[in-house]
Chain A
Amino acid sequence: MRTGGGLLAGLAVIVGGILLASLGVNQYLYFAGYVVLQYVVVATAWNILGGYAGYVNFGTSAFFALGAYTAIFLIEAVQAPLPVLILAGGLVSGLLGLGIGYLTLRLKGVFFSIATLALSVVLQTLIMNWDYVGGAKGVTVIRPGGPLFGNWVTLLFTVMVGLAVAAVTVAWLIERSWVGRGLTALRDSEEAAECMGVPTLRLKLLATTISGFLLGVAGAPFPYYVTYVEPSSAFNLDYAVNALAMSMIGGTTTWIGPVIGAVLLGTAQQVATVTISSELNLLIVGVVLVAFVVLAPEGIMGLVRRARGR
């Protein structure tokens, strides 16, 4: 019953998104909506590793940017269509997740975080020196003419609605399966989990791969969205900070937490960018995050649970 209900809710969101896209209101709303939805995917992906397994990834930007640059490469090389870009971006970032998992998952706590941050720097340096994808000066991406319906902004908005629903579905399935229970066990105590029969290394690799895949998926449409990509925008540390902040503000132990965090914080940032200043949005993240860490360490979902008296 719950699975059916979830499926229905997911479909409703997609249909709602398509309807919204065909409404033809101010284009800027789709433009801003895309960013919020992109953060739903990014935060959800981050939370699979950071929330469920408890491994805080600071290299979020690297996985996102790798998705974007895989797309750029395929656009430059073969003019690949959007669905292929998304799948390829996901696969490449997923592979990176697997590889990084092998190299760094023996590191615990803050050391894992530092290693992922270093990964981001290394990868950015590589991209900056690779002229085929634009190098340090960046690359202009030309959208192919005539999308199926509407224009590119509404199309990308609709695609992102679908990706957000897909990402949340993956997180939801993990949470309810033996994988999710195993990840929770190893987050609580890795040693005890291993001694209780949980294959901790394999589960962690699965988490880094899935998380990386979804981050790459989020990044793949990015070149068509901005049409001009340079390393410092694709590798922007904002993605890492926002993913972490959104998950923590919403609550890291359930799939809905990152969604709530991304919608609230993402929207607040978009509003602040337009009404006050584009520099202010990171300040908002900082202040809200500090407030939550002090007052509600389990996020909004933690507050809801407490209010229900559980």
Chain B
Amino acid sequence: MVRGLLEVEGLTKRFGGFTALNGVSLDVKSGERFGLIGPNGSGKTTLINCVSGALSSDGGRIRFEGRDITAIPAHRRTRLGVVRTFQIPRPFASMTVLENLVIPLEYAAGARDDGAAEAMEILRTIGLESKAHTRPAELTQIEMRKLELARALAAKPKLLISDEAMAGLSSGEVDHMLTILFRLNERGITIIMIEHIMRAVMLFSERVVVLDAGERIAEGTPDAIVRDPAVEKAYLGD
């Protein structure tokens, strides 16, 4: 039996009088490719911020590998294996690409030496090894996205949360990123993909959850989701 890796139960988040998440529940199984979609402002990134610990939630429970992580700080969730990437890449600008990876290797994965060899290995997996000694400011858009992903990998994730890793990429580049993500999943990393590019998320996900206005409105296989009238209504209106 595949057990639940991440269990979110009745998660609620308010910003002042605005309810960004209203009792959202979902569970992600170990090894799964999970898609999270929804129109702009539906609460996808808020949900990710709550799961990764960047925001504290106002209600509900988050469990990872059966352990309650609702109240623990973000850096400890990362050490447990919940690692996210940022929608807008946030590289450590004063460091080289390689040094960017050394931080999570040292702090999250507990590498004892300086981790340079391992960092290089990860860059090779992602296809960024030629840029190891350049600074993030000199990278192209897709290279920046790859750095974001490589740095997350250096934290040794069990669950990788990819927040719009493909925004702004060309169609060919999207395929390239998808190939990388498929390969990571084959290695046993569970992946939650948040994406606006429907082609990518529908191709990638085994199961999709749709959020709208802070509530979960649908769940199912990609095929079922595209035929769901509630989803159509959320995206296109009545």
Binding site for B on A (CB under 8 A): 178, 181-182, 184-185, 187-189, 191-201, 253
**A residues near B91, Cβ cutoff 8 Å:** 188-189, 192
- A-contact 0/1 string along B64-92, CB 8 Å cutoff: 00000000011110110001101000111
How far is it, in angstroms, between the C-alpha of A253 and the C-alpha of B102 when the chains are bound?
Answer: 18
Indicate which residue in B54, B93, B106, B154 contacts A194 across the interface (CB closer than 8 Å).
B54
Q: State which of A185, A199, A253 has its C-beta within 8 Å of the C-beta of B92.
A: A185
Residues of chain B within 8 A of A253, CB atoms compared: 94
Can you list 27 A-B pairs, Cβ within 8 angstroms, ordered by A?
A178-B106, A181-B99, A181-B103, A181-B106, A182-B103, A184-B94, A184-B95, A185-B95, A185-B103, A187-B94, A188-B92, A188-B94, A189-B93, A191-B54, A191-B90, A192-B86, A192-B90, A195-B54, A195-B74, A196-B104, A196-B107, A196-B108, A196-B154, A197-B103, A198-B75, A198-B103, A199-B73
Docked-complex contact A193 and B73, CB < 8 angstroms: no
The interface size bin for chain B is 20 to 34
Residues of A with C-beta under 8 A to B119? none
B83, B92, B104, B155: the one contacting A189 at CB < 8 Å is B92
Closest A residue to B74 using CB positions: A194
User: 9 other contacts beyond A181-B99, A195-B74, A195-B83, with CB at 8 A cut-off?
Assistant: A185-B92, A185-B95, A188-B92, A195-B52, A195-B78, A196-B103, A196-B151, A197-B75, A197-B104
Q: Which residues of B contact A196 (CB under 8 A)?
A: 75, 78, 103-104, 107-108, 151, 154-155
CB distance from B222 to the nearest CB of A (A): 28
Task: Say how far A248's CB is from chain B's closest CB, in angstroms.
Answer: 15
Q: Which residues of chain B have a CB within 8 Å of any CB of chain A?
A: 52-54, 73-76, 78-79, 83-84, 86, 90-95, 99, 102-104, 106-109, 151, 154-155
What is the chain A residue whose CB lies nearest that of B156?
A197
Residue of B whose beta carbon sits closest to that of A178: B106
Q: Which residue of B lies closest to A202 (CB)?
A: B75
Is A200 in contact with B106, judged by CB distance below 8 angstroms?
no
Chain B residues, CB < 8 A from A189: 90-93
| Closest A residue to B86 using CB positions | A192
Docked pose: A184 CA to B78 CA in angstroms: 19
Of A178, A189, A196, A200, most B-chain CB atoms within 10 Å: A196
Taken together as a complex, chains A and B put the C-alpha atoms of A188 and B86 apart, in Å, by: 14
Closest Cβ neighbor of B89 among chain A residues: A192
